[in-house]
Amino acid sequence: MKKAIGNIFVGIIYFLLYLPLLVMVIFSFNEGRSTSVFKGFSGKWYVELFTNSSDIGIPVRNTLFLAVLAAVIATVIGTAAAVYIYYVRSKTWKNTLNTVTNIPMMNPDIVTGVSLMLLFVFVGRLVGALNSLNFFTLLIAHITFNIPYVILNVLPKLNQTDPHLSEAAQDLGSTPTEAFFRVVLPSIMSGVTSGFMMAFTLSLDDFVISYYTTGTDFQTLPLFVFNMVKKPVKPNIYALYSIIFLLVLAVLLFTNISGAKEKRKK
C-alpha cells in the first residue's frame, strides 16, 4: 500500500517533468505554424531544419564552435590548475584557490554575466573601443564559467591516484615534466574527459551569461531562441530540440549502461 502511494507520487512528478517535453515533440510535427493549436501531422519542420533556408543554421554552428573552443581551452587550463591545486602545500593558499574556484559555481549566472560584462565595458572604455562586447568576450566568459567544472572533475581523480605516481616515474629516471605526461596525465584522463564533456554541455546550454557578454555579431542558439520567444515561436525550434532530446537520451543511456557494465566486471 505504502509502496503504491510512493509509486503514484513518483509517477506524477515524472509526468509533470516530461509534459513540456511531450508537448514539444508533438508540436514539432504540427502541420500549422502554431505551437499551441495542433492542425495535423507533418514532418515539414524537420525537413526545413536541414535546408539552407533555415534560420537556425548559423546559431547552431556558432554554438557548437563556441562550445568546442571554450571547452578545449577550459580543459587545458582547468586540468593544469587542478594539478597545481593538488600539489599546493600551503593550506591558506589552497583554501583561497578553492574559494575563488567556487565563486562562479555559487554566484547566480546573472551576476557572473553582469560582472564580466561590466569588466569588458570598463576595459573597453579605457582603451576607447566603440563596442566592447564581441565573440572574444563571449569566449572568455564561457571559459571562465567552464574552468571550475573541469577542476571539479579532475581534482577528485588526482586524489584517487597513488600520491607517489609522479615520484615513482622520477625515481625511475623521468624528469618531472616527463613524469607528468607519461604517468600522471594518463591516470587522470577519465576526469579530464568528463570535465571536458561537462564544460562542453554547459557552454552549449548557457543563455544567461552569454546574454550579457556577447556582441551583436555573434548569436548562439539559446540567444536565438530567447529573441525568438518574443514573437510566436515557429515549430522548427521544437523540431531541433526534439532531435537534441533524442541525442541526449542516447548519450545518457549509453554512458549509464557502459558504466554499469564496467561496474559489474569489477
Write out the binding residues for other proteins, residues 130-149 only, by CB under 8 A.
140-141, 143-144, 147
Nearer to other proteins, 41 or 52 (CB): 41
Q: Does 164 bind other proteins (CB under 8 A)?
A: yes
Nearer to other proteins, 17 or 52 (CB): 17
57 within 8 A of 182, measured Cβ to Cβ: no
| Rounded-to-integer distance, Cα 68 and Cα 217, Å | 19
List 27, 29, 196, 200, residue binding other proteins (CB under 8 A) = 27
Residues 64-83 that bind other proteins (CB under 8 A): 77-78, 80-81, 83
108 Rama sector, left if φ>0, alpha if ψ -120 to 50, beta otherwise? beta
Q: Which residues fall within 8 angstroms of residue 137, CB to CB, at 6 or more apart?
A: 116, 117, 120, 213, 214, 215
Give the type of residue at 134.
N
| Rounded-to-integer distance, Cα 26 and Cα 135, Å | 35
Through-space distance between the first and last CA atoms of the chain, rounded to whole angstroms: 37
Q: Does 172 bind other proteins (CB under 8 A)?
A: yes
Q: Does 129 bind other proteins (CB under 8 A)?
A: no
Nearer to other proteins, 52 or 177 (CB): 177
The residue with cell 564544460 is 199
| Rounded-to-integer distance, Cα 125 and Cα 133, Å | 11
Q: Is the sign of the CA dihedral 152, 154, 155, 157 positive or negative?
A: positive
Q: How far is the CB of 196 from other proteins (least distance, A)?
A: 16
Q: How far is the CB of 48 from other proteins (least distance, A)?
A: 17
Residues 184-213 that bind other proteins (CB under 8 A): 186-187, 189, 201, 205, 207-208, 211-212
List 60, 109, 124, 194, residue binding other proteins (CB under 8 A) = 109
List 46, 65, 135, 245, residue binding other proteins (CB under 8 A) = 245
Nearer to other proteins, 67 or 237 (CB): 237
Nearer to other proteins, 42 or 174 (CB): 174
